[in-house]
Each structure stands twice: as structure tokens, then as C-alpha cells.
A and B are shown apart, each in its own frame.
Chain A
């Protein structure tokens, strides 16, 4: 009785197939984990759009301790699934002394995979940061304490909330007025609204800056300083997020109240954001890779001053 040639070759083909998969997996591991495996491990959701602006939001990260490295590890895992194009920092980039070795231990080493992948950072300054950090190229500040840049249809405004002097106010108003981007996103260290028990809302900053945000149509504001994650209920039509748990944690500090839409203060975290046309999608990721908050924001109509 004749046996079909394929059947006769089946054991050999099976062995070959298994070997090929094994080799592929080993090769993949040598470079980076397969995206599907990482997705299962992290819970990170991939972006939806094909031509979106995707970025990572990280605050209060520069401790150089194990927690920072654990978050950094998770950031890189998430990148496999959600390939953010750049990262913004919300200040306190380097805690404590700022010797050259501190820049290595508190930034260059933990985020080496990102830096090696040419993922640029655009930092803002926190109260623990020497303003001369602005000259450190990997922070992408262009030598300025406050600055603006655009990615596709999104304009970003990195502010120095430690020292909101008249020059910065005048600059901000002019920069906002000049912006013709569809999305205007501001970020700084201090939160204008916060349910934190330790710090709370930065009222001075809010008094001075928020009217400009309202007048010129800032859509979303990111801040750090508080060592937890909080999504605030929209204030004056603006969406506010606090993401200051990039390494430090102030466990149990959120005093949930009328401001809080969602809070997470039991572990470190960072955010992933996708801007896809008129939709902004966000997810807050914990140190262990859990999605602790997520959602969509529809772009608000431009105010009269910008229409």
C-alpha cells in the first residue's frame, strides 16, 4: 500500500517546524520579547490609530532606586505593544545630588533601552531639579526652562511651574496664541488641581495660568509632584492628569473628593497616551503592568479666541 509522500515526511516536517519556531523565539528573545507575549504579560493595550501621536508620560522618576528601575522595565515592556514615539517628563528628573554619575544612575541606565531605541525625552523641571538640566541634551529641552514643540497635529507646552515669572507668563500667552495645532497639551511639575493630602492643588499657578489655558484652548494638562496617579474631573473644560509615581510613591495619599475622577496610589505608575485625530486615548500603567485607568477624550471645541 502506497503511503502519501507528505505523510511519510510528516515526522520530519514536524521536527523541522518545532525547531524553526524555537530558533525564531530564541532570536526574538535576544533582541526583544515578542509583542504578543509582552501584551499578555503587561496588559498594555496597543494604540488604535495608524498615524497617531503616541507618547509616554512620566513624573517624579529620578530616584535611582529599585522602584525607578522596575517602572523603567515596565515602560520598555509596554513600548513593545504601544510603540510610543517620545516621552515627556513631569519634573523631578533627578532627585538629590546632580553629579554626572547621578545622571547615569537616575536617567541614562534605567532608560537605556528607550534611549538606545532613539525615543526622545522632552522634560520639564521639578522642584528637585537644577534648572541647568535644560542644557542636558537627552532631556530635550533645547536649553530652555520652558519651551514648546509640535508633533503632527499636537502642540506641547513644557512649563517651569517652579518659577512662573512674568517672562514665562508672557511667553506662554504668545505661544498659545500662535498655536494653530488641533490639540494643545501643557505639562509641568505642579498640579493645578489635586486631591493629594500632602500637597494639594497649586492655587497660585492655577490663578495665573489657567485663564490662559481656557482662553486659548488647552485641551489636556499633565502634572506630577504628587506621588500617585490621579485623573481629575474636567475643570473649566480642561482635562487634568497627575502622574507623579514614576519612582516615588505616597501610598494612600489621595483624599478622594469632588475633584477625583479616578485615583491610584498603591503603586508606582506612568501613562501612555495616543492622539488619533479628534480622540485622545489614555491608559495609566502600574509598575507591575496593570492598566489602572483608561479612557478616551474627544477634542473640545476651540474657544472663541482661537476660532
Chain B
């Protein structure tokens, strides 16, 4: 776990260092009480206001995202301590039962969870920019293939189960390379036009960043 943590910190540091060499420094969105509305992608490339301290904003935002992931993992680990350990079994009931127990435990511990708890407002512009840049580099056919595979007409809410009747759309591998690493308990997924964080073991939607994925050009 220490090694993984070090790797995560290192990857964030590399990401931040990489961003430091960019010509434009994105300005983070000011945290608000209602972080449901996404900032425009342009916000991620705006110039730092005059007089602001010379801090690498993306590095700081990345660390904030990382801190929130750590906070979530504390909750996840606490919940996991209260459910039977997951082991290989012939009994599918054990697997689904354990998944449900873990989900309920996390839902209880995060009863007040809200959109933007993990996708920190400070980091949202960078996520949006990463996704938009990735899609802008794809051919129309490629974009269409990706988007057409996404689950449609699915309403996602924070701290609810990902519907098991719907597929987990394949996450574009090249885009995945560009996003911050996650611990193995969490993964990114795309649903409709939203980027979601999903708890793999509990099948829970942990956070949502809405309207990130571009629409198919007509």
C-alpha cells in the first residue's frame, strides 16, 4: 500500500511537472457549495490573474484530487472492515451478497455525499480539458464508435449502485493513460456524457462529472 501510495504521489508529481511546462496555466474553478455545473473547458486554459502567487495550479489541484481520493479510501477501507472478506468462492451468492453489504456500508458512511466531493472543483477544468483534448484528436469514426457504445438513457446519481443490467462501457485506453492514476478499488467510467468514478468492489457510483464527453458532431 505504501508503494502504491508512493507511485500515486509520483504520478501526480509527474503530471504536475508536465503541466508546469505548459505555456498556459489553467485557472481552477472557485469551490462552491453547489459544484454541479461544470466550468467551460476554456476555463482550463485561462491565464492566471495578475498578483496571484506563483503556484503551479494544476499541481495543487491534482494534490487536492489525490487528497479526496485518499479520504474516500479511508471510508472504503472502514466499510470493508465491517463486511466479510472477499475470497474466491464457488458460490455466486457470496460475491453478490458481499458486494451489496459493502455498498450499503459505504452509502451509510457517505450519506451526505454530493457531486464534486471527489472530482474537486479545483480539478474539474483539467479533467474536462483532458477529455476534450483526447476526443478532439480522434477521428469522427473513432469518436462515434466510442460514444455509441456508451450506456444511454441511464440516470446516474452519486452514492447509488451502477445498474448491473447495463454494460460497463469500455474506457478508451489512450484517454485512461492521460487521467490521474486511481487505486485499484476505483475506476473511471463514462456514462452518457458524464465521467464517473466507480467503486469496483461495491459497484457504487462515487462521483460524477457531468457533460464532459463531447457529443458526436452532426
Contact = CB atoms under 8 A, between A and B. Distances in A.
Interface string A202-217: 1111011100000000
Contacts, number: 92
Max count, chain A CB within 10 A of own CB: residue among B165, B170, B200: B170
Contact of B203 (A128, A132, A200, A207): A132
Contacts of A255: none
B90 interface: yes
B151 to A, nearest CB: 10
A278 interface: no
Interface string B177-194: 100011010010000000
A132 B170 contact: no
Interface in A132-151: 132-133, 135-138, 142-143
A142 B87 CA distance: 10
Contacts of B164: 96-98, 130
B200 A131 contact: yes
B176 interface: yes
Contacts of B173: 164, 204-205, 207-209
Interface of B: 11, 86-93, 95-96, 99, 141-142, 145, 149, 164-165, 167-177, 181-182, 184, 187, 200-201, 203
B181 A100 contact: no
A199 B145 contact: yes
Interface of A: 96-100, 102-104, 127-133, 135-138, 142-143, 161-167, 190, 199-200, 202-205, 207-209
A103 B142 contact: no
B165 A167 contact: no
B145 A200 contact: yes
Contact of B92 (A100, A131, A162): A100
A107 to B, nearest CB: 9
